[in-house]
Structure 1
């Protein structure tokens, strides 16, 4: 095939586009230098001038590539910055036959040629056909490679091995076995990070000892205020904490390729960080608080018994109503409010009276001295167990800090003695990574030391004082604590004409008797 070179004279301006498929390939620094060398040889032979270079380390199935986008931003900026865009092969430019031809024609209209040094074609009908065949063959090959790699990764997951991505927070990777030059790795529980995961679940389900169960945002604030940091040394956020509370990997269930089709999802057994019962309790609570399933005013509003007060006649929720321009507040049957007397005869109870009656009854039945003493003993036991765990975690964080500090010193020493070139492009990233690991370890050391300080430990308070403290918190404490406590111990409160029927949760000490509404008068 004849190639028309009449427009490519000496001094022709050339931009290189270099690409490898993955970051590790780029780090090994083999393919891109070879592409550059061969393309430079072609330019030297023709007398062309290299005026730009753009490169990527990602797939060419789409145009979502930083280097590729930068190339076309320069081209579309006007002024025809290049005469030729040169690639080693068409597959380096695109692995999609249609997209390749569209980009080829876009360049041609701007007076720029796309040249592949290993598959050069022209603009004749035959040249377009040959170029299309090259591109289609590349696309098919790419699809086959992708399919084979996906199949291999799924089989790797079925055998219980990890497939290369960063492990979830709370886990690390350990070598499992060697197959030839490859080392197979499995997920293992990280002794330091896993303790923080368990702490997050404790905060969500029980609180920190001085509060009721905490919401996701409150947990984020608690973690950051107590000096805890993420693996990268940054502040915790709502999304990261929510992932800790919802990822089934923490109860020992990992789903590889979970965004794929049903037949492509692989269930992998991994070590659990928390028990399944704790994880399931957290999921039930999250679903209950989901604003799509529970109205925000029920979960977060100022109504103490919202969500658990039920009409004794029809079973509908008792919701807030006001009278006299908001001066009076009532619990009223929501079915009657919505559809009238045909749905339910309904009833209305002063909100303050019902709140006081329920909290007084619960405090007398649950917060007696015997139960308070049992609670206090359990809190002391948990505090002691937590301190032992925290001491182990503190030592691990101190070791991580020492290791990171030593790594930084080694880097600086190597630079000082000329072992490492200070202009090495990877050096800055190595130093930043080492500093981030050191700072994250230091923050966790400080947080652990504060949590072990004597003033933060639970003292041996008298049972009577502890009982009074709990009762006062339930009767007059912040409504967020009071509501969280009642929702934790009560299944529902049925409001009948002259009495209440209080149903405790199955895992709560039995609350019997039926307080009468008359007692609230």
Structure 2
């Protein structure tokens, strides 16, 4: 039997079920459980239908025959196989992302953000008009403006957000101030579980100098309401004012 996961073979799968209902088939021979249906629920549903019709299903790879296998055991086996396949698929996806990042072939390296466009070759290029706003945001922060203060200033100047709205979300400003792409770097897979990868320090043209970017990170840490010490993290007694 062909896999039921594609459009054309799906029609064949339904035709097979109709043939069973018409009692034209008594035994179904299939390569493996994973090729019998699109997911665990569909597989179990089909097997229940076939059982009621008195049709045996034989799985070659697993060497299982519904004719001589206990129903509860069959369900348990199918669910276990489905879970293992899902975990394997997830691991393969993560491995692929990590490999592309390590080799510098991940498309994420050239994914544009505010202030950039993609040129004809798909590489990052500076959007001059929006890059001015990026520099303004960094400059305002270093001049003492809070994130809320920057949002207010952008509204006064009539500068639209990346999504075209009159109001900038505070989160957007905060993420921009930490985005290493603005100094020409790209960091991937740094979630505390994976090794970080850099394509190079010149992955894309920089909008912000490395010195200004670093100064902003230091200032962000200074304003933070959380400090790290030998005894772990603790909150400062006074929080940096967000009204300025």
Partner of 1:290: 224
Q: In 2 relative to 1, CA 241–121 (structure 1 residues): closer, same or farther, beyond 3 Å? A: farther
User: Is the Cα–Cα contact under 8 Å of residues 251 and 273 in structure 1 kept in the other structure?
Assistant: yes
Indicate the residue corresponding to 1:37 in structure 2.
11
SS in 1 for 2:118: strand
Match of 1:203 in 2: 140
TM-superposition CA deviations, 1:361-407 (whole Å, max 9, x none)? xxxxxxxxxxxxxxxxxxxxxxxxxxxxxxxxxxxxxxxxxxxxxxx
C-alpha displacement at 1:290, in angstroms? 1.1
- Residues 228 and 133 of structure 1: is their aligned pair in 2 closer, same or farther, counting only changes over 3 Å? same
Kept in 2, the 8 Å contact 1:258–1:265? The answer is yes
What corresponds to 1:145 in structure 2? Answer: 92
TM-aligned CA deviation for residue 188 of structure 1: 3.0
Partner of 2:230: none
Q: Which has the higher strand share?
A: 1
* Paired position in structure 1 for 2:145: 214
Q: Which has the higher contact order (CA 8 A, sep 6+)?
A: 2
Does the Cα contact within 8 Å between 1:39 and 1:88 map onto a contact in 2?
no
Matches within 5 A, 1:353-368: none
What displacement does 1:192 show? 3.2
1:162 to 98, 107, 119: 107
Give the counterpart of 1:256 among 177, 182, 188.
188
Residue in 1 that maps onto 2:54? none
Describe the SS at the equivalent of 1:299.
coil
Task: Determine whether 1:245 maps to 2:177.
Answer: yes
Structure 2: tracts of 5 or more residues without a match: 23-32, 51-56, 228-234
The normalised TM-score by structure 1 is 0.33
| Correspondence for 1:280 | 214
The question of whether the paired residues in 2 share the 8 Å contact of 1:121 and 1:131 is answered with no
Q: Which residue of structure 2 aligns with residue 223 of structure 1?
A: 154
Residues 151 and 217 of structure 1: CA distance in aligned 2, closer, same or farther (over 3 Å): closer
Between Structure 1 and Structure 2, how many residues are aligned?
A: 206
The aligned runs of 1:294-313 (5 Å cut-off) are 295=236, 297=238, 299-300=240-241
Larger Rg: 1
Q: Extract unaligned runs of 5+ from structure 1.
A: 1-17, 20-30, 49-86, 95-99, 177-184, 207-212, 302-478, 481-521
CA contact (8 A) 2:110 2:123 kept: no
Residue aligning to 2:30: none
The alignment's TM-score, normalised by the length of structure 2, stands at: 0.62
Q: Map residues 60-209 of structure 1 onto 2, 5 A cutoff.
A: 89=35, 92-93=38-39, 113=48, 122=66, 124=70, 127-128=74-75, 131=78, 134-135=81-82, 138-139=85-86, 142=89, 145-146=92-93, 148-157=95-104, 162-163=107-108, 166-174=111-119, 176=121, 185-206=122-143
**How does 1:388-467 map onto structure 2 within 5 Å?**
none
CA spacing shift, 1:127–1:289, aligned 2, 3 Å: closer
Note the alpha carbon deviations across 1:142-191, whole angstroms, 9 max, x for none: 2563355234322342x6x5338853322233454xxxxxxxx4333333
- Name the CA distance, whole Å, in 2 between partners of 1:218 and 1:200: 10
User: Cα RMSD over matched residues?
Assistant: 4.3
Quote the offset at 1:277 in angstroms: 1.3
Q: Once structures 1 and 2 are overlaid, which stretch shifts more, 228-237 or 126-135?
A: 126-135
1:232 and 1:118 mapped to 2: Cα distance? 55
- Cα distance between partner residues in 2 of 1:191 and 1:36: 51
Aligned partners of 1:121 and 1:222: how far apart in 2? Answer: 71
* Distance 1:219-1:138 versus aligned 2 partners, 3 A rule: same
Q: How far did residue 237 of structure 1 move?
A: 0.6
